[in-house]
């Protein structure tokens, strides 16, 4: 790995040298302005078309031979060259992977001339296509190679270090995370079947900024900043850009990096295009080895989860350039997928090295996604363009987690292969279920204005987005939690080590008389409790920005750009769990057998097998039928009103955040445009105002006129009331805590790119970025130990609303090679110097600190627990990417392509152990075979362990313990056959082998057998489809 100071100092020296060089040339350029005898000039305008696909090309380079004049096409393929010497000019258009074409035009003095280009894929022989490929002959090979060409060229033409993915293949539901997981430096957090959150270069998902067309959008996560990609759909997405180092015109809140989704435009087409994808989704429990009864129904525990395993879905996209002034883009999609998982969940005493409880889970779940999007592009005048877009996407998820929990009780014993309850029979077996429905939606409206003059560029945009997530249970006819229990038993489990083989242990249950009891028989259990956890999350973002740039007429290329942005966000969470104790009246038993509460069909499914491969039947409790019992006999269910009020107050929070920003950016080009230097700085100010729970324990005790607590003759504090609910209402005040704060900063960046050869690009970069605290970390809240309690461990747990964002100094060096004998390769060295990230602290209360939190000196004998900016660490890493078409190297392997991405990282520094979400190594590799009508691809994704949050040491948790995600290997495969442009069939499978996601809390000295606490076995996800275009 690179020595700590090497990369940082290399980039700093290089950036300083380049800035001095640029400044010297700027002075020289200004000192030699064009004289009166300057030659007459004109302009060239035109478009660049990819005739292979029929799409106009973005960022195609058009240059005037013999000069340093060049221009790049915009999203619609348009370009313009100003100050071209009058007379005959030879233009050259280039686009990575599509060859080069030249065109001669006669430029009139003071006027303009049109020069349109048509580029195409090379012919099979490898020469640039002189005969333009006809759209009617568009093949599988051409589709895939065109997509690769677009991605590579966007990456090569970028001013900074980024990766680009073209959306050129179908992946069923179209989650953008399915494309991101094969980009170097990215680790996807799975749910566990589908990608949900993206971590870039070791940073948490909250440090990944997700935008659409460069505009930040609302997020539907409870924590506020991390964007859930499960709601995303690629139906209206053209490509995805992953930025590793920002430029000044990009937000600073991307301590890991940024993901930008570019939407489709009707102007990107020369002719109308309708694409369709009709497909069916299906899943199996055991990957390829166990397709099971895929055409049967799922036999779920309620009506919503009892559905077909095979579900029809579709994607439609229509692009239509109505004329040169008006174009529309329409997208419509719907997908549905059912999954079922089974998995063990163990609780180990990591100190005593014994199993304290064991849980088996049967989890049916399903997902429905819909997308509707429209974009209208209008050019009312020459060089002026307006774009109006609207999209609506929603996701409906049902989760039916059904659990059998065996708790061995006090005095239990155990080892690597067994667990034994004490002879006192204090163990219990319980069915404890968690059900919910989730309704997520995202609305996004955008308006963009662009002016493209010969020297001036103006880009103004506004956007409004609303994201919502609603968790429901009782309003949909079931309880969120349902508990029935068999108590006072002795439990023995044998073969607990076989959980790694997806086997549940042998279980023996006896009561205090020694009689054997079937712990999996619902009739043996007694009803205990039911609960609800309804919650609403509402996130709204309104933003507006303007960017203005000017090309200066100097001997070298210089463009100055400035802009301003305001982003206002409101995030509100409303919720609070409720719990009912089930208490039938005297004379009525709470035994489950007395009621019709069994999930009958669901209980016929064979979810589990023991180490001898025998079926372990379970008769399951139905949370829906338990809710029916509640409706029939509501007085049997006693609500804990005090807990309900407390939970509602603690869960309900609001924050309003306003970010204002301005930036200056300069683009310098030297040496016939081979050196491109982008430098500048961005200023951002953040204003937060939040409302959270007020937990005022003092309010429950009587006080004198000065606020001093009153005591009785025995020295005890005098409560205001003895009614539990009234005391709770006095203590917990809804949104009773309020705070306002602000902070700002300047964030410079320098990006340099140098074309060593036409196919070799070297880059160096520096940028300062920040990671703002998640909303729960700054919305005010306080919990204080009862001052009348006898405990010596009195604490004040405070949300530190003054928490500042952490920052990172990012240093990068990279070398990129394009199309060298069919190979594309890159290597990047990077270093992140992290400062002021968050850590939990516990300190003695002082008068000054108590005053800062609005507390009196009565709490001087307390400890204060809060988060502070305490951490510094350094991440150093290398990213390597290599893609090779084997045909140019070994002709008889034409059509084969292999690739690999490797990311290696090392974490160091004084607070390295406090950084969470870090994975030291990820590897992706794959092979594909493509012929004119047929293609097949296999992709493999390998992650090493990933460290999550630290675990507090206790009597059952060893010091130095963290939550770890175990290494994982996932295999995806795709095969397709094209009959014609209009009809193709394909099959796709994700997680082919049904690889489990394993998680555990452990320290380095924890034995291997006691490390894994959870192993989730998601089903393999299959997609079969028919697609084409007209």
List pLDDT tens digits, range 697-712: 888 999 988 888 888 8
pLDDT value, residue 138: 52
pLDDT for 536: 95
- Which band of pLDDT confidence, cut at 50, 70 and 90, is reported for residue 687? very high
User: Tens digit of pLDDT for each residue in 381-406?
Assistant: 988 999 999 999 999 999 999 999 99
Average pLDDT over residues 348-353: 94
C-alpha 818/C-alpha 826 separation (Å) is 9
Cα distance between residue 706 and residue 121, in whole Å: 83
Q: What is the CB neighbour count within 10 angstroms for residue 741?
A: 14
The pLDDT value recorded for residue 449 is 96
Q: If DSSP states are collapsed to H, E and C, what string results for 40-66? A: CEEEEEEEEEECCCCEECCCCEEEECC
What pLDDT score does 205 carry? 86
Between 169 and 542, the more confident residue is: 542
Residue 66 pLDDT grade (very low, low, confident, very high; cuts 50, 70, 90) = confident
Mean pLDDT confidence for 418-442: 95
Query: Residue 996 gets which letter from DSSP?
Result: P
Note the pLDDT tens digit of each residue in 598-627.
999 999 988 899 999 999 999 999 999 999
Question: How confident is the model at residue 171, as a pLDDT?
Answer: 60
Q: How far is CA 1008 from the centre of its chain?
A: 31
In tens, the pLDDT along 913-963 reads: 777 777 889 999 999 998 888 999 999 999 888 888 888 889 999 998 999
Average pLDDT over residues 426-443: 95
The terminus-to-terminus CA distance of the chain in angstroms comes to: 52
- How would you classify residue 202: left for phi > 0, otherwise alpha for psi between -120 and 50, otherwise beta? left
Q: What is the mean pLDDT of residues 647-673?
A: 94
At residue 679, what are phi and psi to the nearest 5 degrees? -140, 150
What's the pLDDT score for residue 145? 66
Residue 19 pLDDT exceeds 60? no
Compute the half-sphere exposure of residue 17: CA atoms within 13 Å on the CB side of its CA.
Answer: 9
Mean pLDDT for the chain overall: 88
Q: Is 83 left (phi over 0), alpha (psi -120 to 50) or beta?
A: left
pLDDT value of residue 170: 60
Q: Is the sign of the CA dihedral 639, 641, 643, 646 positive or negative?
A: positive
**Whole-number pLDDT of residue 135:** 41
pTM: 0.89
Amino acid 784: pLDDT: 84
pLDDT class for 169, splitting at 50, 70, 90? Answer: low
pLDDT digits (tens, 9 = 90+) for 142-159: 666 677 778 888 888 899
Evaluate if residue 5 carries a pLDDT over 80: no
Per-residue pLDDT tens for 255-279? Answer: 999 999 999 999 989 999 999 999 9
User: Is the model's pLDDT at 207 over the cut of 80?
Assistant: yes
Nearest by Cα to 227 from 238, 215, 237, 239: 215
Cα(507)–Cα(406) distance, integer angstroms: 9
DSSP result, 785-824: --TT---S--EEEE--TTPPPEEEEEEEEEEEEEEETTEE
DSSP 3-state assignment of 296?
A: coil
Give the residue among 302, 272, 168, 148 at the shortest CA–CA distance from 626: 302
Q: State how far the Cα of 960 lies from the Cα of 220, in Å rounded to an integer.
A: 33
Please report the sign of the dihedral spanned by the C-alpha atoms of residue 61, residue 65, residue 70, residue 74.
Answer: negative
Give the list of residues 6+ apart from residue 125 with CB closer than 8 angstroms, or none.
none
Predicted pLDDT at 605: 87
Residue entry with tokens 């696909």: 53
**Tell me, what's the pLDDT at 869?**
87
What residues are paired with 334 via a beta bridge? Answer: 314, 370
* Statement: residue 33 has pLDDT above 80: no
Indicate the pLDDT class of residue 31, thresholds 50, 70 and 90.
very low
The model's pLDDT over 551-588, given as tens digits with 9 standing for 90+, comes to 987 888 899 999 999 999 999 999 999 999 999 987 67
Region of poorest pLDDT, from 439-448, 626-635, 1018-1027: 1018-1027
Domains and CATH numbers, the chain: 4-28+43-137 (2.60.40.1120), 268-1029 (2.40.170.20)
Give the pLDDT band of residue 1016 (cuts 50, 70, 90).
confident
**pLDDT value for 477:** 96
Among the ranges given (338-342, 413-417, 662-666), the one the predictor scored with the smallest mean pLDDT? 338-342
Mean per-residue pLDDT, 822-837:
92
Res. 801: pLDDT tops 60: yes
What confidence score (pLDDT) does residue 34 get? 42
Residue 88 burial (10 A CB sphere; 0-12, 13-18, 19+): exposed
Per-residue confidence (pLDDT) for residue 289, from 0 to 100: 45
| Residue 165, pLDDT score | 87
Overall average pLDDT of the 75-102 stretch: 90
- Confidence class for position 20, pLDDT limits 50, 70, 90: very low
766 with 813: CB under 8 angstroms?
A: no
Phi, psi of 749 (to 5 degrees): -155, 150
Would you state the pLDDT for residue 124? 43
Rounded CA-CA distance 509/428 in Å is 9
* Residue-wise burial string across 73-86, b where 16 or more C-beta atoms lie within 10 A, e elsewhere: bbbbbbbbbbbbbe
């Amino acid at each position: 790995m690179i020595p700590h100071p090497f990369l940082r100092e290399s980039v700093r020296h290089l950036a300083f040298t380049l800035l001095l060089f640029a400044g010297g040339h700027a002075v020289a350029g200004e000192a030699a302005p064009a004289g009166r005898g300057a030659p007459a000039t004109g302009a060239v305008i035109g478009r660049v078309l990819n005739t292979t696909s029929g799409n106009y090309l973005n960022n195609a380079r058009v240059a005037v031979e013999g000069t340093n004049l060049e221009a790049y096409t915009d999203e619609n393929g348009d370009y313009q060259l100003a100050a071209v010497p009058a007379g005959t000019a030879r233009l050259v258009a280039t686009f990575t992977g599509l060859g080069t074409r030249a065109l001669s035009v006669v430029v009139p003095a003071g006027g303009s001339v049109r020069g349109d280009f048509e580029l195409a894929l090379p012919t099979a022989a490898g020469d640039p296509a002189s005969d333009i490929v006809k759209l009617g002959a568009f093949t599988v090979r051409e589709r895939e190679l065109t997509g690769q060409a677009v991605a590579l060229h966007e990456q090569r033409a970028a001013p900074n270090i980024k990766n680009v993915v073209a959306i050129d293949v179908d992946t069923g539901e179209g989650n953008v995370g399915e494309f991101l997981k094969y980009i170097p430096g990215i680790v996807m957090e799975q749910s566990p079947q589908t990608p949900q959150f993206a971590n870039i270069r070791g940073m948490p998902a909250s440090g990944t900024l997700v935008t659409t067309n460069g505009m930040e959008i609302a997020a539907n996560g409870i924590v506020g900043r991390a964007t859930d990609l499960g709601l995303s759909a690629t139906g209206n997405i053209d490509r995805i850009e992953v930025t590793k180092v920002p430029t000044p015109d990009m937000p600073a809140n991307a301590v890991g990096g940024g993901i930008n989704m570019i939407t489709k435009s009707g102007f990107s087409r020369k002719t109308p295009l309708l694409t369709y994808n009709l497909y069916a989704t299906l899943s199996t429990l055991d990957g390829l080895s166990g397709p099971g009864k895929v055409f049967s129904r799922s036999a779920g525990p309620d009506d919503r989860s009892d559905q077909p395993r095979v579900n029809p879905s579709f994607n439609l996209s229509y692009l239509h350039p109505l004329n040169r002034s008006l174009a529309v883009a329409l997208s419509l999609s719907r997908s549905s997928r059912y999954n079922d998982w089974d998995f063990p969940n163990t609780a180990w005493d990591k100190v005593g090295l014994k199993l304290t409880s064991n849980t088996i889970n049967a989890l049916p779940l399903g997902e429905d996604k819909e997308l509707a999007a429209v974009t209208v592009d209008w050019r009312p005048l020459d060089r002026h363009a307006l774009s109006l877009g609207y999209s609506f996407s929603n996701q409906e998820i049902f989760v039916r987690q059904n659990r059998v929990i065996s708790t061995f009780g006090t005095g239990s014993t155990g080892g690597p292969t067994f667990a034994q309850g004490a002879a006192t029979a204090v163990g219990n077996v319980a069915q404890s279920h968690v059900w919910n429905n989730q309704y997520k939606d995202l609305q996004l409206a955008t308006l963009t204005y662009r002016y493209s003059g010969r020297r001036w560029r103006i880009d103004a945009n506004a956007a409004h987005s609303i994201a919502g997530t609603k968790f429901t249970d009782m309003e949909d006819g079931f309880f969120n939690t349902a508990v029935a229990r068999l108590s006072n038993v002795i439990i023995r489990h044998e073969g607990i080590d076989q959980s790694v083989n997806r086997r549940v242990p042998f279980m023996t249950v006896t009561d205090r008389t020694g009689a054997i009891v079937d712990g999996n028989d619902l009739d043996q259990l007694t009803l205990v409790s039911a609960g609800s956890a309804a919650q609403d999350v509402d996130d709204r973002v309104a933003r507006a920005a303007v960017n203005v740039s000017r090309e200066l007429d100097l001997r070298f290329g210089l463009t100055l750009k400035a802009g301003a942005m305001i982003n206002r966000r409101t995030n509100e969470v409303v919720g609070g769990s409720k719990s009912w104790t089930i208490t039938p009246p005297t004379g009525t038993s709470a035994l489950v057998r007395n009621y019709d509460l069994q999930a009958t069909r669901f209980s016929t499914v064979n979810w589990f097998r023991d180490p001898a491969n025998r079926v372990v039947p379970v008769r399951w409790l139905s949370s829906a039928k338990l809710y029916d019992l509640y409706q029939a006999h509501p007085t049997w269910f006693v609500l804990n009103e005090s807990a309900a009020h407390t939970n509602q107050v603690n869960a309900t929070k609001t924050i309003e955040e306003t970010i204002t920003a301005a930036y200056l950016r300069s683009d310098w080009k030297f040496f016939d445009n081979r050196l491109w230097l982008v430098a500048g700085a961005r200023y951002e100010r953040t204003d937060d105002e939040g409302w959270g729970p007020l937990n005022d324990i003092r309010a429950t005790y009587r006080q004198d006129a000065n606020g001093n607590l009153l005591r009785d003759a025995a020295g005890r504090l005098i409560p205001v009331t003895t009614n539990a609910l009234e005391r709770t209402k006095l203590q917990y005040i809804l949104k009773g805590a309020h705070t306002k704060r602000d902070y700002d900063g300047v964030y410079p960046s320098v990006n340099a790119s140098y074309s060593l050869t036409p196919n070799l690009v070297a880059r160096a970069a520096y940028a300062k970025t920040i990671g703002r605290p998640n909303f729960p970390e700054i919305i005010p809240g306080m919990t204080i130990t009862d001052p009348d309690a006898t405990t010596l461990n009195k604490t004040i747990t405070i949300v530190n609303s003054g928490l500042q964002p952490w920052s990172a100094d990012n240093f990068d060096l990279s070398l990129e090679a394009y199309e060298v004998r069919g190979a594309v390769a890159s290597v990047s060295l990077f270093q992140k110097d992290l400062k002021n990230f968050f850590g939990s602290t516990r300190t003695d209360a002082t008068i000054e600190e108590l005053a800062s939190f609005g507390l009196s000196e009565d709490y001087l004998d307390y400890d204060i627990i809060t988060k502070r900016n305490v951490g510094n660490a350094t991440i150093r890493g290398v990213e390597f990417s290599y893609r090779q078409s084997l045909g140019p190297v070994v002709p008889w392997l034409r059509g084969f392509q292999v690739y690999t991405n490797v990311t290696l990282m090392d974490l160091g520094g004084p607070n390295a152990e406090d950084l969470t979400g870090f994975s030291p190594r990820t590897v992706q590799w794959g092979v594909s075979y493509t012929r004119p009508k047929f293609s097949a691809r296999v992709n493999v994704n390998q992650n090493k362990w990933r460290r999550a949050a630290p675990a507090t040491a206790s009597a059952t948790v060893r010091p130095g313990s963290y939550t770890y995600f175990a290494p994982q290997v996932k295999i995806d495969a795709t095969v397709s056959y094209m009959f014609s442009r209009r009809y193709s069939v394909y099959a796709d499978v994700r997680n082919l082998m049904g690889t489990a996601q394993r998680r555990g809390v452990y320290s380095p000295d924890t034995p291997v057998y006691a490390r894994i606490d959870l192993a989730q076995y998601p089903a393999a996800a299959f997609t079969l489809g028919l697609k084409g275009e007209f």
